[in-house]
Structure 1
Amino acid sequence: MTNPIETRLAELGLTLPDAPAPAANYVPFVQVGGLVHISGQVSANESGLICGKLGADLSVEDGALAAKHCALSLLAQARAACGGDLGRLVRLVKLTGFVNSTAEFTDQPKVINGASDFFVEVLGDAGRHARSAVSAASLPFGVAVEIEGIFEVR
């Protein structure tokens, strides 16, 4: 039986990627009680890493799309943390978004909205969350966006 999250993803024409493997000496997620803390997911799509600096080579729209791809990877990690059963996902609790941007760029919240909007669209009220959106002078591999998340699971 398909759960509502998988149904909604299908309605939107979206497919979750496989949960990305860690790129260094860390684990992709840690569960403490009913909370799953997911390590930062970098912006990548089926073609590879989404790189660039907001305010220099990328528009706010490009950044928001990169953030949406981070959100897809976060949800894929949440699925892995739930043993493949997204029906165990209760809600998204918090996102922390890092935007590779110039010193003059101030639209980090608009960029991270790409992830926030995705979660509300897919999870409904369970996708409403606390959030931080901050600038970074650079990010690993030169990616545009990295986002970490905390999910409640049963």
Structure 2
Amino acid sequence: MAKIEARLEELGIHLPDAPAPAANYVPFVRTGNQLFVSGQISNGPEGLIRGKLGDGMDVEEGAMAARFCGLALIAQAKAAIGDLDKLRVVKLVGFVNSTPEFTDQPKVVNGCSDLMVEVFGDAGRHARSAVSAASLPMGVAVEIEAIFEVA
């Protein structure tokens, strides 16, 4: 069994199916040794995770929503490449549906960042942006996109 697949099993993590695009775009593009994965929205086992941070949704709930984005990012990368052992996380860009007063976007996006390090180890350490958005598609709490390097 591949190293990352074994790590996922050890952690009790089951990847979702790679989500289909919701509009006129592709879920990922590979160019050279880089894989760009389109933004993945917060979607858990019970469906879309909707809400606005700072207005009825707290940092812990937001971080869990971001973790689900991370699972979808890994699922898309697996669909694109097949072998997760060939991947290094280069950059994440996280968008957090939040009020103007909310300033803990980095703590929310940590839900995804922490997952990447849990799963990929040092190859999961990455550059990152975590920004606020006045709203996100379908009212979701978080959307995150990723760039991976392919060995």
Provide the rounded CA distance (Å) in 2 between the counterparts of 1:119 and 1:45.
17
Who is 1:36 aligned against? 35
User: Residue 106 of structure 1: SS of its match in structure 2?
Assistant: coil
TM-superposed CA distance for 1:85, in Å, is 2.1
Cα-to-partner distance string for 1:36-89 (whole Å, 9 max, x where unaligned): 00000000011110000000011100000000000000000000110x222322
Cα-to-partner distance string for 1:76-107 (whole Å, 9 max, x where unaligned): 0000110x222322x00000000000000000
User: Residue 36 of structure 1: SS of its match in structure 2?
Assistant: strand
What amino acid does structure 2 have at the position aligned with 1:86? L
Question: What's the Cα RMSD here?
Answer: 0.7
Number of residue pairs aligned between Structure 1 and Structure 2? 151
What amino acid does structure 2 have at the position aligned with 1:63? G
> What pairs up with 1:16-27 in 2 under 5 angstroms?
16-27=15-26
Give the alignment partner of residue 94 of structure 1, picking from 79, 91, 94. 91
User: Residue 11 of structure 1: SS of its match in structure 2?
Assistant: helix
What amino acid does structure 1 have at the position aligned with 2:47? G
Which runs of 5 or more structure 2 residues have no equivalent in the other structure? Answer: none
TM-superposed CA distance for 1:8, in Å, is 0.9
State, as a whole percentage, how many aligned pairs show the same letter.
Answer: 70
Who is 1:77 aligned against? 76
- TM-score, L = length of structure 2: 0.98
Who is 1:14 aligned against? 13
Provide the rounded CA distance (Å) in 2 between the counterparts of 1:85 and 1:4.
10
- TM-score, L = length of structure 1: 0.96
Cα-to-partner distance string for 1:86-145 (whole Å, 9 max, x where unaligned): 2322x0000000000000000000000000001011100000000000000000000000
Provide the rounded CA distance (Å) in 2 between the counterparts of 1:143 and 1:104.
18
Which runs of 5 or more structure 1 residues have no equivalent in the other structure? Answer: none
Runs of 4+ in 1 over 6 A off after TM superposition: none
